Amino acid sequence: MEEVSKTPIFRAFSETSVKELRSINHPGISDTSRSTFSYASKKPFWPEVLWKGGTLVYSMKQPEKCLVPPVLKNDKTIRFNSRFESGNLMYAYRLNPDAYHCILEYDHTPSGGCQWFYFQMSNLRKDRKVTFYISGFNKNSGVFSSGSKVFMYSEKAAQLHNLSWFRAGTNYAYGTTLKNKHNKRSTLQFQLQFQYDDDVCYLCYALPYTYTDLTKHILDWSQFAPSLIKKEILCKTLGGRDCPILTITSPFSSTFPSTNTTKKCIFLTARIHPGESNGSIVLHGLIDYLLSGQPIAQTLLEKYIFKIVPMINIDGVIEGFYRTGLEGDDLNRVWSLPDPEKHPVVFATKNLMFSLHQEIGIVAYIDFHGHSRQHGTFAYGCPSDSNKEKYLPKMIAYLCDAFSWAKCVFSVPQQRKDASRCVVAKELGVVNSFTIESSFGGILSGPRTNTLYNDTIWKEIGARIGESLFHLFSESSPLLKLIECNTAIFPKEYLLNNEENSSNQMNDGYKNNSKSFSQNLKKNNKKIYNNNQNNNYTVNITNNNNKTISIRPKTARMKASSPTKIAKKNTAQTKISSQASRMNTKMKVTKGSRMTRSQSHR
């Protein structure tokens, strides 16, 4: 056995990176079929050789220790690679012919945060079942322990069926497998059955959205709507890369924005945590909506200027980090006093926001994130005496059944006071200052209960956020009037109890020892939501161009279920279907009749 330590160690930042030399393109159409929650074992079995045995087959830092491409046909050992943009896999060990231990690279901090993974596999065999153990996670629980699945991409599936990323895997388990005095690491276990011989596949924590991807998308947007969007360079990152900033408004002119003071600004940011790629996808959906030419989007652009920094932590995205950048800091904890040398993008973004607020005023700020422990999509806001910070999340929940009002939290915990939304609310006085969190997992309530998120749903959420912004700032909007009436009857003590509302976000939704804002309002909301469902009407709104815009409330909400109950139900239904199939196959056929196996399933 190769004598290499299985525990990644902290390494200082190097200005050269092998990962920016190659970017992977994944052509194909995203899988839109419904993927349901898996059942994750609560008492997994971990092999004794997990951390003490196996043969080294891949080392990211030492290419000479990697296996060479296969020459013999009977060589069935999987080859691994993560030496590309956003890749994260430090080591891969072969435990047995059908089991591999994959160890992730930690963020460049002494504590070594880690959740994100993204790597390539080759030399695969059709119908072969392989068990994977992915280790290095710094959180002892997450969406994988409550029903989520990994994303997979198959080059053969893309070539034959034009299929892009899809959810995959069975027999999931998640738990702590490495316990040192100052270091606890968790492992994800699952099985894959490959569909093609000689295929090349990729596994990822979420859908990859790299710096190269962003650059291509900006080019596409600029070609699609050149009169609506403008790209500029905000600053250089710590790693010396250009950080783009987008301006979207209508009509665009050479004098904008310095001489245009009639429009207010809506400011958007994303990817301050590099491993939260779904935040980029939600923002992508919002940008697509703004440029779509739809009447509501056109009205928004006529009234407002959108300033967008789509990728704050570019260096971390390229390196495949989860939460930090090259400097080793969480960039969402330095907004009160960013260092211009260590945190140049945050420093430049904050300065621009202050300048814009003085010139034209910022009426809303949204920072897009991904959530690794809670399911659903929800908002974190800052409480105010007016309660108007509740309006936008309520509107999104009304228009989008993939968004959960019940999980929204409005507080400023001490440990979050330096986060962007808290600083913007406090220092600029922006009431509508939010973090939008979208889970890496799935949806637990509403008509799409038991559905894991995919590219289409994430982009849909972004579009509905755009639509909600229109209603938020339209005084004549019937939806705004409805939300105002609903908010007016909320108990005041629940709305402003900042400390009680903090526990949900302080613990990432994992533990909540006090009643959250949403729990306290459950009884009050029940009557409101029931009334909304009974009034399943269409609201007609006329915009500036005298075009009628029709909106409908989202379909009736369902009671939320736990991921465990959903996954067990999925497993039970699978077993019932399997038993029914066997019974149908063994059916007694009367004399003179013939029934094939396929006919018995019709």
pLDDT tens sequence across 436-445: 999 999 999 9
Closest Cα partner for 415 from 354, 325, 330, 345?
Answer: 330
Tell the residue number behind the tokens 């979207």, with chain if given. Answer: 248
Between CA 502 and CA 522 the distance in angstroms is: 17
Q: What is the CATH number of the domain that holds 231?
A: 3.40.630.10
Tell the residue number behind the tokens 């080859």, with chain if given. Answer: 79
- Final residue in a domain of this structure, among 204, 239, 258: 204
Quick check: is 27 in a domain? yes
Instruction: Give pLDDT, residue 579.
Output: 46
> Which residue blocks in 338-419 are alpha helix, DSSP H?
344-359, 391-399
pLDDT mean over 315-343: 96
Residue 580 three-state SS: helix
Between CA 505 and CA 518 the distance in angstroms is: 12
Give the active site residues. Answer: 437
Domain count, the chain: 2
Closest Cα partner for 310 from 265, 270, 367, 349?
Answer: 270
Q: Are the CB atoms for 204 and 186 separated by under 8 Å?
A: no
Amino acid at 274: P
Same domain, 185 and 226: no
pLDDT mean over 82-104: 97
pLDDT mean over 507-523: 38
Quick check: is 289 in a domain? yes
286-328 per-position pLDDT tens digit: 999 999 999 999 999 999 999 999 999 999 999 999 999 999 9
Q: Are the CB atoms for 200 and 121 separated by under 8 Å?
A: yes
pLDDT mean over 116-125: 98
User: If pLDDT is split at 50, 70 and 90, which confidence band does 147 have?
Assistant: very high
CA dihedral (385, 391, 394, 396) in degrees, to 10, reads: -140
Same domain, 323 and 348: yes
Write out the DSSP string of 57-68: EEESS-GGGSPP
Quick check: is 517 in a domain? no
What's the mean pLDDT when you consider all of the chain?
83
Quick check: is 186 in a domain? yes
Same domain, 472 and 444: yes
- Final residue in a domain of this structure, among 472, 493, 511: 511
Same domain, 290 and 157: no
Q: Are the CB atoms for 417 and 334 separated by under 8 Å?
A: no
> Which of 65-69, 108-112, 268-272, 401-405 bottoms out in mean pLDDT, i.e. has the lowest?
108-112
Q: Are the CB atoms for 190 and 172 separated by under 8 Å?
A: yes
Helix axes of 455-472 and 277-290: crossing angle, nearest 10 degrees:
50
Quick check: is 417 in a domain? yes
Give the count of beta carbons closer than 10 Å to the beta carbon of residue 251. 9
458 vs 117, 122, 452, 538, CA distance in Å? 20, 29, 10, 25
- What is the b/e burial string over 526-535, where b = at least 16 CB atoms within 10 angstroms of the residue's CB? eebbeebeee
pLDDT mean over 416-423: 96
Residue 411 three-state SS: coil
299 vs 82, 94, 399, 550, CA distance in Å? 45, 57, 18, 14
**Better pLDDT: 37 or 505:** 37
Quick check: 590 pLDDT over 80? no
Instruction: Give pLDDT, residue 550.
Output: 53
Instruction: Give pLDDT, residue 499.
Output: 44
Instruction: Give pLDDT, residue 178.
Output: 86
Between CA 333 and CA 109 the distance in angstroms is: 15
Contacts of 154 (CB under 8 A, 6+ apart): 163, 194, 195, 196, 199, 200, 201
183-232 per-position pLDDT tens digit: 789 999 999 999 999 999 999 999 999 999 999 999 999 999 999 999 99
Same domain, 218 and 138: no
User: If pLDDT is split at 50, 70 and 90, which confidence band does 482 have?
Assistant: very high
Closest Cα partner for 452 from 142, 163, 35, 171?
Answer: 35
Instruction: Give pLDDT, residue 570.
Output: 64
Quick check: is 602 in a domain? no
Quick check: 542 pLDDT over 50? no
228-245 per-position pLDDT tens digit: 999 999 999 999 999 999
- Final residue in a domain of this structure, among 468, 489, 511: 511
Q: Are the CB atoms for 115 and 144 separated by under 8 Å?
A: no
Q: What is the CATH number of the domain that holds 196?
A: 2.60.40.3120
Quick check: is 492 in a domain? yes
What is the DSSP code (8-state) at residue 418? T
Same domain, 446 and 479: yes
Contacts of 272 (CB under 8 A, 6+ apart): 312, 313, 331, 332, 346, 367, 369, 420
Same domain, 440 and 463: yes
User: Rounded to the nearest 5°, which phi and psi values hold at 314?
Assistant: -65, -45
Q: pTM of this prediction?
A: 0.84
Residues of the domain holding 402: 211-511
Pairing, β 40-41 against β 170-179: parallel
User: If pLDDT is split at 50, 70 and 90, which confidence band does 544 have?
Assistant: very low
Amino acid at 531: N
pLDDT mean over 246-257: 73
User: If pLDDT is split at 50, 70 and 90, which confidence band does 20 have?
Assistant: confident
64 vs 86, 221, 276, 283, 316, CA distance in Å? 22, 42, 32, 40, 26
Instruction: Give pLDDT, residue 341.
Output: 96
Quick check: is 583 in a domain? no
Same domain, 269 and 133: no
Q: Are the CB atoms for 445 and 560 separated by under 8 Å?
A: yes
Same domain, 322 and 258: yes
Give the count of beta carbons closer than 10 Å to the beta carbon of residue 320. 28
Same domain, 234 and 251: yes
Closest Cα partner for 511 from 374, 398, 378?
Answer: 374
Same domain, 350 and 224: yes
Tell the residue number behind the tokens 């600083």, with chain if given. Answer: 423
**Better pLDDT: 593 or 62:** 62
Same domain, 215 and 179: no
